[in-house]
Amino acid sequence: MEMAWHVRVYGMVQGVGYRPFAAELAEELGINGKVKNAGGIVEITASGEPKAMEEFLRRLCISAPTGARVDRVEKEEMGLSDGLDQSGFVIEESTAAEEPMRFLPPDLATCAECEKELFAPGNRRFHHPFISCALCGPRYSILKQVPYDRAHVTMDAFPMCETCAKEYTRPGDRRRHAQTICCPDCGPELAGVASAYWDGIFLGNAKKDVGEAALEEAVHQIRNGGIVAVKDIGGFHFVFLPEDGPAERLRAFKHREAKPFAVCFPSLEAVMEYCTVSVEEERLLCSQARPIVLLDWHRPLPDGILKGSSRIGAMLPCNPLQMLLTRELGPLVMTSGNRGNEPIITHTVEMKSLMKEGCPDYILTHNRRVLSPLDDSIYQVIPFSEGGPVTQIIRRARGIVPEPIILKEELINEKFAAGSDLKAVFAFGKGRAAYLSPHFGDLMEFSCVQAREREIDRMKELFHFQSDETVGDLHPGYLSAEGVNRRIQHHYAHILSVMAEHGCKGPVLGLAFDGTGYGTDGRVWGSEFLLCTREFFEKAASLRPVVFPGGDAAAKCPKLALTAYLRAAGVSYGDPVTDAVLEKGIHTVENCSMGRLFDAASAILTGCEESTYEGQSAVELELLADRANEAYPLTLPRIPAEGMLLGDGPALIRAIYEAAGEGIDPAALALGFHLAVAQFAVNTADHIAKQKEITQIALSGGCFVNRILLREIVVPLRERRYEVLLNEKVPCGDGGLALGQLWAVTT
């Protein structure tokens, strides 16, 4: 006797081919009914023989297509006469609905089957740069509204041709109900734009090529040392050969003097020709997100690309256009298409306006709209001698956003968390889901503010957010926190972000090490040992505060940090003006930031006097320490003061300054510095944790991207039987702050 069910499927089940999968499964098992998208879930009504229905339900859970994730399936028995079609199984038009947790698909890398077709002569999609199927292609970047249907994505501007329409409805076809389906006859079109000059005078832009001709001209330009702006899934990349000439041109154009460039390789085998790749790093490279992964190299690229780095930011192509270019040209530099800290450019007209400044040489664009600027996600893997490697996400963006982070318990209220002004990422929290935004750069750039506001409105509409509570950073000058009704101290939010990932209520001892953050006492914090629960925190230790010049100059000029630290140690160093400012306390602030301690050491040992990108001096200090054969013995003394423990940073910097003056190897001193800071952190944490009977220690803050520092703190703490908690799903830097702000219990 037949039975009938109404089934609801929750999870990542839209934009990943789940409806055609359910239809194919039902047809195989002889089940009648229908399937549709409803809000952010999939709804199925089905009838059939009991054994077939049980098998249908089982395979709905365990056999979902690649990219899908089934979190929960609910079934409700219904009568056979309740509107069921008894003559087959159909995919219905989508409807709106509300569900407690909404999952929308991130942009998915081109699948292996589509890649085969892309390079198969005779296939009607041969060299089609917009090839996709139900399992791959752009998703979030083109989604206008839910549910995920052709009419709700920017592909609605391209009516299907007759052949594509047949594939769209044909049972068994990979493109059955693929909302991005298209072909050269009906899809988006490539266009090439060249700049025109006469006698060195810019005459304007002209549309020069279309289709295959545009691709061929882009290849020609790149092969001959040109810089091409290529529009792909999340916006524009600047693309060029990994050679010094175009690299130095782009560095001058973007004012990016020292930061390494990422490189896109045509295959995993090509990556391995240059880099050492572990099992975990291979998994990340080949994952659906296709992120940049920082890899140790054994075959160097030109210095114009690496700028002395011991690692290559490597990635594999995530879309057909990148596959076409790298297959033809080999490894290519692909870096964000913008002038610096602003969002990646998504509109061709904006990129055209840059051509009159001499870069790019050519624009390879298309007429499919990108609704959200999305940079590449970034990971690194840190091998540990015990306990397996630690995987860190450094930037959470394309291929991951907008998938939520699932919390261990529900939030009391629906919340909006404003994040920070640097590495700006906001978040919405609803129930057990935390939805983090893409990365927006520095809010000192007006274009970042505009892009952030647009994305706030977009996420509100897509997810139906109506936040009851808004939280932001304690800093009174942060643009991100304007208008919020509650504020959370910066470093407390860092530790809360770790607690949120691991479902901790506390108490935990948190070590929050970074470059800056507004403290509750008005000082600049950044080396905090905090006793934390979800409701409150107490500061137990930090570095000794040192008087610094006010403003942002100290973060960009390591020499200022060195001057401040040596003066605090009783050593005269620096120019008379700075000395006078510090002496008289003119526009000064007390600073206990770990980032500035690294700056001071780097100024002595690497000669870095100006940071042209965030964290440059610390990166160069780590690279120097990596080259050491052994560490020079150094100590960061611990002194009691103001009812807490303080690290005597001035004493450490003075010791390094004097040792360097005596000709001690800078690499040995750099490694000695790292070990001294780590030993101070371990011993201080151990002292506080034993005193307070705490067994969990959480580490967060941008300094923990440093592999030496992280390893030399985590391993000894684990050896002392502490449970060490780290950020794994969000960056340990400011890109993860919003998650911590959500986790705080503020009511």
pLDDT tens by residue, 89-131: 888 887 776 666 788 889 999 999 999 999 999 999 999 999 9
pLDDT at position 204 is 67
Q: Which of 217-221, 570-574, 608-612 has the highest mean pLDDT?
A: 217-221
DSSP H or E stretch at residue 261:
none
Sheet holding 390-395, edge to edge: 201-210, 190-198, 362-366, 228-232, 235-240, 332-336, 262-264, 311-315, 292-296, 378-382, 390-395
Task: With CA atoms as reference, report the closest residue to 534 among 570, 555, 568, 507.
Answer: 507
Is the model's pLDDT at 536 over the cut of 70?
A: yes
Residue 457: CB atoms within 10 A of its CB come to 10
**Do the Cβ atoms of 335 and 237 come closer than 8 Å?**
yes
- In tens, the pLDDT along 688-710 reads 999 999 999 999 999 999 999 99
Left if phi > 0, otherwise alpha if psi is -120 to 50, otherwise beta: which for 265? beta
**Do the Cβ atoms of 738 and 419 come closer than 8 Å?**
yes
- Degrees to nearest 5, angle at CA 598 with 593 and 600: 95
pTM recorded for the entire structure: 0.93
Cα 666 from chain centroid (whole Å): 33
Please tell me the distance from the alpha carbon of residue 738 to that of residue 735, in angstroms, as a whole number: 7
pLDDT band at 70 (very low <50, low <70, confident <90, very high): confident
**Backbone Cα Rg of the chain:** 27
- φ, ψ dihedrals at 524, nearest 5°: -85, 120
3-state secondary structure of 416: strand
pLDDT band at 582 (very low <50, low <70, confident <90, very high): confident
* 108: β partners: 137
- In tens, the pLDDT along 312-353 reads 999 999 999 999 999 999 999 999 999 877 889 999 999 999
3-state secondary structure of 627: coil
Mean pLDDT lowest among 60-69, 153-162, 681-690, 695-704: 60-69
Mean pLDDT lowest among 210-219, 322-331, 595-604, 606-615: 606-615
CATH superfamily of domain region 190-366: DHBP synthase (3.90.870.10)
* Domain boundary assignment for the chain: 3-91, 190-366, 541-726
DSSP 522-569: SSB--EEEEEE-SS-EEEEEEEPPEEEESSSHHHH-HHHHHHHHHHHT
Q: Please give, one letter per residue, the 3-state secondary structure of 339-396.
A: CCCCCCCCCHHHHHHHHCCCCCCEEEEECCCCCCCCCECEEEEECCCCCCCEEEEEEC
The CATH number of the domain covering residues in 3-91: 3.30.70.100
Bridge pairing between strands 292-296 and 311-315: antiparallel
Return the higher-pLDDT residue of 143 and 356. 143
Which residue has tokens 């089982």?
58
Cis peptide upstream of residue 147 (ω within 30 degrees of 0): yes
Please tell me the distance from the alpha carbon of residue 98 to that of residue 30, in angstroms, as a whole number: 31
Please tell me the distance from the alpha carbon of residue 571 to that of residue 567, in angstroms, as a whole number: 5
* 392: β partners: 380
DSSP 35-96: EEEETTEEEEEEEE-HHHHHHHHHHHHHSPPTT-EEEEEEEEEE-TTSS--SS-EEEPPPB-
Which residue has tokens 């909006």?
416
Q: Which CATH class is domain 541-726?
A: alpha beta
